[in-house]
Structure 1
Amino acid sequence: MVFCKMSDRTMARQVLLFIWFLSLSSALGQVSYSIPEEMAKGSLVGNIAQDLGLDLKRLKSGKARIFTGDSAEYIELNKERGILLIKERIDRESLCGQTTPCALHFQIILENPMEFYSVTIEVTDINDHSPSFKRAEMKFRISESAATGAVFVLERAMDLDVGINGLQTYILKATDNFSLKLQSQADGSKLVEMVLLKPLDREKQDHLSLVLTAIDGGDPQLSGTAQILITVLDANDNAPVFTHKTYKASITENAFKDTVVTIVSASDLDEGSYGKITYAITNTLDNVPELFEINETNGEMRVTGNIDYEKARHYQIHVQASDDGGLTDSCKIDVDVIDINDNKPQINIMSKLTTISENSNPGTVVTMINAQDPDAEENGKILCSVNENIPFTLKSTNTNFFSLVTDGDLDRERESEYNISMTCADEGVPSLSSRADLAVRASLVWTAVEHRHSRMRKGRH
């Protein structure tokens, strides 16, 4: 059996690789906090030094700082005390809208040696919004011959709060002729309908006024109201009826304006004006009216705004068919938005060295980058690389986080400066890419003999 003695240089390299692996493992550490929205500026979020097991001296020597990846910074780091504080008031509704849970994600960056830690702060909702209706009044024209059980779709209220603080139920008052019917939808909202309980009599009462109240589940409860004004018309025997209650369609993002999405159709057995049908989009809670319009005569729905998959992947559009006698029917159009590869990866330099010693060992971290692409699936998957024939390579440290490390011996006399091009490309067809350029200089390493000769030369002068 033959035994080979490991050289000191080989052993040193293996030790350095093991140390690099340990530092990489620590870079994957993360901590989470939960805070309510609207906390005052300067409020304490958490003791980040204690929770990450970091010494305050390390925060200072490592020039600890926060990296967010975008321009919005709501949290600040107090290195003297090792704590996170509220930098700017956080409005959960502005930050996340109806998305839950709502969270801030950022990294704590340290240098000498380079490390980063992931921090997640969940922002919880407080009941700071009342339910509200876009219109203070809803007007209906209903025939006195409308059959018991006829359904009239009411405008839904909007509440920016979420969860238990969000909109919970409705109450309809002065309901001798009508009752309220709520239907839960797939998206968690409720379809609000008014159902005729007993026939109307125009000769006894030609106008009705009802009050619809929307109530949230906060403590204390908040509410908003809208008035329902009903004009009673002479007989109209048949209401419009849609061919389908639900229409399904799909459209690619960035579709040209006037692109036809789908066509809805309703019929009415009445003749004359009572059989004439008018179509209208009834959405009032979102931006649907700015993105789509429907031809009131033939039911053809077209694109009128900018469809962006990164803003919304699905639209539920409510359409109402009305005849001239005031009777209505409703349907919904489920529109799926198809993603196209219209965003290039964004490269963010988290931390970098501009000078590196020529005797740096393989695996020395030179730069840390974060790459992001808001597109979906393959269009949003990112691969990063560097130019060839340089003693550097990219290593993935976490999803969309990369470290540029030395991958060979540096020789200042052979190459005093390295021009590094980092390219990040997505996997879309065609692929889109971005590039970041970095210049790194190799610094001189003097031996003890060179130091002595240098001092002697200075002494002669």
Structure 2
Amino acid sequence: MDSKIIWFPACCFHFVLGQIRYSLPEEMRKGLFVGDVARDLGLDVTRLVSGRARLVIDDDNQYVALNQNKGHIVVNEIIDREKLCAKKSPCSFSLEIVLEDPLELFSITIEIQDVNDHAPSFPKKEIHLEISESTPTGTVFLLESAADPDVGINSLQSYSLKENRHFVLKQHTRTDGSKNAEMMLRTGLDREKQSEHALILTAVDGGEPQRSGTVKIHIAVLDANDNAPVFTQSVYKASVLENVLQGKIIAKVSAVDADQGYNGNVTYYFTHLEEDLSCPFEINSYTGDVKLTGEIDYEVSSNYEINLQAKDPWGVVGASKLIIEIADANDNSPIITMASFSGKISEDSLPGTVVALISVQDKDSGRNGQVHLNIDENLPFKIKSSLRNYYTLVTQQILDREKLSKYNITLTATDEGFPALSSRKTVVLDVTDINDNAPTFSQSVYITQVMENNSPGVAMLQIHATDPDQDRNARVSYFLIDGEVNGNPVSTYFSINTESGVIQSLRSLDFEQVKEYNIKVQAQDGGSPPLNRKTTVIIRVQDQNDNPPQVLYPVQTGGSLVAEMVPRSVDVGYLVTKVVAVDVDSGQNAWLSYKLQKATDRALFEVGLQNGEIRTIRQVTDKDAVKQRLTVIVEDNGQPSRSATVIVNVAVADSFPEVLSEFTDFTQDKEYNDNLTFYLVLALAVVSFLFITCLVVIISVKIYRWRQSRVMYHSNLPVIPYYPPRYSDTLGTGTLQHVYNYEVCRTTDSRKSDIQYVQPMSQSLVSVDDAGTENLQNGEQPSSVSNTSTLVSWSVGLYANPVFNPRGDEERFPCWEYCTRPRFGSEKDAYWPGPHRYRRKHPVRRTEDRQRDASRE
């Protein structure tokens, strides 16, 4: 922001005048910084607060506000320069800052800079003009001006007109600086050549970025009688035998007028015949037919020369001449007339299709009037004779527009007179296209590669197909053919641009899931019916090193420590254990190497770089510690490489008691004591959360069952038998194929009995729990197990008698004083499930229970 300070001397009443000027662009949002008045006025912020500084603004709009705590002026509301000042430049408004004790007044001027936020716009979307074709060149047509509320360089700067050969644009600048445009006729208009013109007028400003506005100009050309009738021939000739009957049409003249409507009507006349009343011919004023009305004699007159005149309704005339030859010899050539000819034929026309009906006339008689019509033999057409003097041009074989789209056919008519006379006529036949060619891909199979974890929307490749057909039959569109990848449609993985054929990925690809995608792409033209062709696109996903190695063995458990036992008498190279790891990546990204990162004694063990085998590198001595902790790092060969670490505990001892004592101290003294505080806090949080959760669940279940019992009590619906849910195996072994629901019930004196549980051990591992109790697998059972060290496992659904057998009414079951059990049975004695509470200390028969429940319900 630009700022300028102008000071004036203070008066005796501590009344200080100062002036600050700030400049900011329009459309700034609320809260943005305008200026630091405290710094610019040399005042302390505390002075603004103690003097209760405030802004005095004459306008009702509070565009800015004062922040007393910082001494800043900030934007209070969005300022629209066009609304504030319109076209006035520069645009500014003034305000004052007033301070008390002593009274001080400072004047501030804020100048609003224009932003190019408006594009030039025309008052109308289209301009319609009607211009006569007789309008002289140089005529100027004033165009509507565009408006741009911005000022300066952001305002309207220039106009441009779409390039054309009839009109040119002229720009003018008014005294107020605004610009207007005029359109001048540069070349004359001709309605007969083009009856309408469409132009585009564009107005642009000079801002950054530049903005523009356009308007369409439609010009309709009005017809003027500026064309005289023109005969189709400058001289008409006719031959007639001297024995021709009266009324015979000797010739036919024709004139055309390029004007439109009434101005194009033509009538025909003979001129300069007033003094020669013996002319034996007359012309039809409307048709132009010249016929014989009197007798003719070759010996009297061998020819007649008649002046022809064609006149439009406004008296504009055109002239020609008719020469009639009277002869008794073969002096007339055949005349070829295209009686029916469209100039076009479809390429799928069958052989024998009629192309044109041709009329050949010869005014001679006898052999002199017999005519033969022929064409070039190399063309796929032939001439057939139908009626006298009429021939049909038919196709001789199937046409192919893609090979040859146009034929120049020369017709030759020859009579049988002596000497023979002939005439030629060349016609152009265009072969129209049909959709007989399917699109063709540039490649039969497209193969591309893309790196996995790519960003969605990335273009992978572009396919291209060509169609030799024409226009819309050659317009090719591309589509993905429906298919599935991992059970999902192909369209969820890729998309294709129907116009350009660019294939994009819609999601990030994963090499570990799918390594190669085979998708089908179809190219379809715009014909009716459309033709298509398919191709295969193979997208191969390249692997990235995005997965770290996974250690399969030894398994890192969070409970008891697992240690490999090494006797002290082993030799050098003894295989202690093997670290097994895998990497789901491929190639060199999956090449794993094993390194010993940390060890209690590096001189005792080594790790195989390729196989992960941990072996001893020297003899074990009595000085070596019993507990050895090895940290092995597994790295892949990717760039950058990823790694995983595994901790291997090794027990160097010949007896289990020594191992037990060492690892008990290790686990209790180090790991447990070091994390004691953390575990206490965690346990407290878990217990609190479980207590609250259980309380909410119990209350919800109670309310739900109460509501269900109320609903069923008042309902007449049939009772649905209840089958208890099946619970999964809580031991986590996953070996039970059939899961049953059990309920644990004990007698009142069952507290005195315990269940002993001994966990089996592997042959090569020593498992030490947190309490330091060892378990062996060598088939040995401990001679005595105290009640304190016995693992008692109570698991609902595993160690108990079945609640009841639905088919055995005689079964008894023990239960404590207060227990809950589900009830269900056959349809006869079924009832709605729900909790049933009993207060019996002795077993009862189920039949009695059912009878009692039935009476209650």
Query: In which range does the TM-score fall when normalised by the shorter chain?
Result: 0.3 to 0.5
TM-score, structure 2 normalization = 0.26
TM-score, structure 1 normalization = 0.44
Max radius of gyration: which structure?
2
Q: Which has the higher strand share?
A: 1
